[in-house]
Amino acid sequence: MGAHEDYLPFIGGLAREAGALLLKHFGRVRIEYKGGVDLVTAADRASEALIVERLRTRYPRHDIVAEEGGGNESGAEYRWYVDPLDGTTNFAHGLPLFAVSIALERQGRLVAGVVYEPVLDELFAAQAGQGASLNGKRIQVSGVQSLREALVATGFPTHKRHKNPNIHFYHAITLRSHGVRRLGAAALDLCYTACGRFEAFWEFNLKPWDTAAGTLIAREAGGRVSDMVGGEYDLASPEVLASNGLVHEELQELFEEIFAGRNPQLPSAEEYRQHRPDLVRPRAMK
Residues that bind ligand IPD (CB under 6 A): 83, 86-89, 155-157, 184-186, 203, 206, 210
DSSP 285: G
Provide the terminal-to-terminal Cα distance of the chain, rounded to the nearest Å.
Answer: 76
Binding residue for Ca ion, selected from 210, 211, 233, 244, defined by CB under 5 A: 210
Q: Is residue 63 at the binding interface for Ca ion, with CB under 5 A as the rule?
A: no
Task: Candidates 75-83, 134-142, 173-181, 190-198: pick the segment binding Ca ion (CB under 5 A).
Answer: 75-83
- Amino acid sitting at position 61: R
Q: Which is nearer to ligand IPD, 47 or 246 (CB)?
A: 47
Binding residue for Ca ion, selected from 48, 63, 67, 220, defined by CB under 5 A: 67
Q: Is residue 250 at the binding interface for Ca ion, with CB under 5 A as the rule?
A: no
- Beta carbon of residue 279, minimum distance to ligand IPD (angstroms, whole number): 36
CB 245 within 8 A of CB 224: yes
Binding residue for Ca ion, selected from 48, 83, 199, 250, defined by CB under 5 A: 83
Q: Among Ca ion, ligand IPD, none, what does residue 245 contact (CB within 5–8 Å per kind)? A: none
Q: Is residue 220 at the binding interface for Ca ion, with CB under 5 A as the rule?
A: no
* β-bridge mates for residue 204, sequence order: 239
Binding residue for Ca ion, selected from 48, 86, 117, 250, defined by CB under 5 A: 86
Q: Among Ca ion, ligand IPD, none, what does residue 13 contact (CB within 5–8 Å per kind)? A: none
Alpha-carbon distance of 275 to 50, in angstroms, equals 56
Q: Is residue 203 at the binding interface for Ca ion, with CB under 5 A as the rule?
A: no
Half-sphere exposure of 185 (CA within 13 A, CB side): 25
What would you report as the CA-atom Rg of the chain, rounded to the nearest whole angstrom?
Answer: 20
Q: Among ligand IPD, Ca ion, none, what does residue 157 contact (CB within 5–8 Å per kind)? A: ligand IPD
Going by their DSSP bridges, the two strands 122-127 and 151-154 should be labelled as unpaired
Ramachandran angles phi, psi of 179, nearest 5°: 150, 165
Alpha-carbon distance of 123 to 121, in angstroms, equals 7
Ramachandran angles phi, psi of 83, nearest 5°: -110, 105
Residue ranges that bind Ca ion, judged by CB under 5 A: 67, 83, 85-86, 210
